[in-house]
């Protein structure tokens, strides 16, 4: 049996280093309306005290490469959560890249074979890939997958919208992102 193709190794430090910090990324946004909406969401995003404490006491850096573009509704909804978490920790460092900037990176993170953003790639302090998140919370990704399986994407999108309406503080996203942060700072398997 032939061996499967091996993907090229990604130099995550280089990818991270060429990304933009939040301020520069937001300044480069194509849509002033989306930029303002993200800033409003970021400013209003709260973190539970236990989450803030966990982030404030991270033992070492966690790097996140965020594949995000401001035209996307899920980017507008979820980037402010990631950014607010980064603001709660001097150890959580985020850089933003576009799909076109690093297609070799983005192609690795398709969602059910499709292009979907945001994608947040979590890296250890040594720039080892530890996990990824996106483009939406796990329960919503499942709704979309089930909608594709049964051929009813309209119903799936309604379920995603209902989930978003119920989770106004985006606590599902915070929980899932915090879990990936904790993996990235693990001291044992």
CATH code for the domain of 125: 3.40.30.10
pLDDT tens digits along 44-53: 999 999 999 9
Query: Domain limits at 85?
Result: 12-135+170-184
The predicted model gives 60-69 an average pLDDT of 98
Give the integer Cα–Cα distance in Å for 152 and 37. Answer: 30
The predicted model gives 58-84 an average pLDDT of 97
pLDDT tens digits along 83-95: 999 999 999 999 9
- The contacts found for 32-41 with CB under 8 angstroms, 24 or more apart, are 34/70, 34/71, 34/76, 35/70, 37/76, 38/70, 38/75, 38/76, 38/79, 38/80, 39/80, 41/76, 41/77, 41/80
What is the number of structural domains in the chain? 1
pTM, two decimal places: 0.94
């Amino acid at each position: 049996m032939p061996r499967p193709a091996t993907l090229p190794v990604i130099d995550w430090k280089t990818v991270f280093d060429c990304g933009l910090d939040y301020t520069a990324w937001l300044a480069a946004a194509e849509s002033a309306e989306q930029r303002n909406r993200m800033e409003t969401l970021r400013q209003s995003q709260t973190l539970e005290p236990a989450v803030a404490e966990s982030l404030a006491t991270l033992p070492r850096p966690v790097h996140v490469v965020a594949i995000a573009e401001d035209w996307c509704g899920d980017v507008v909804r979820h980037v402010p959560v990631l950014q607010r978490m980064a603001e709660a920790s001097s150890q959580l460092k985020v850089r933003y890249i576009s799909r076109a900037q690093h297609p070799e990176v983005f192609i690795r993170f398709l969602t059910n074979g499709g292009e979907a953003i945001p994608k947040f790639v979590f890296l250890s302090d040594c720039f080892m890939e530890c996990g990824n998140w996106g483009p939406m919370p796990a329960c919503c990704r499942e709704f979309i997958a089930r909608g594709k399986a049964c051929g009813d994407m309209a119903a799936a999108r309604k379920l995603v919208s209902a989930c978003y309406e119920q989770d106004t503080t985006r606590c599902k996203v915070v929980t899932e992102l915090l879990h990936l942060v904790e993996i990235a700072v693990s001291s044992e398997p």
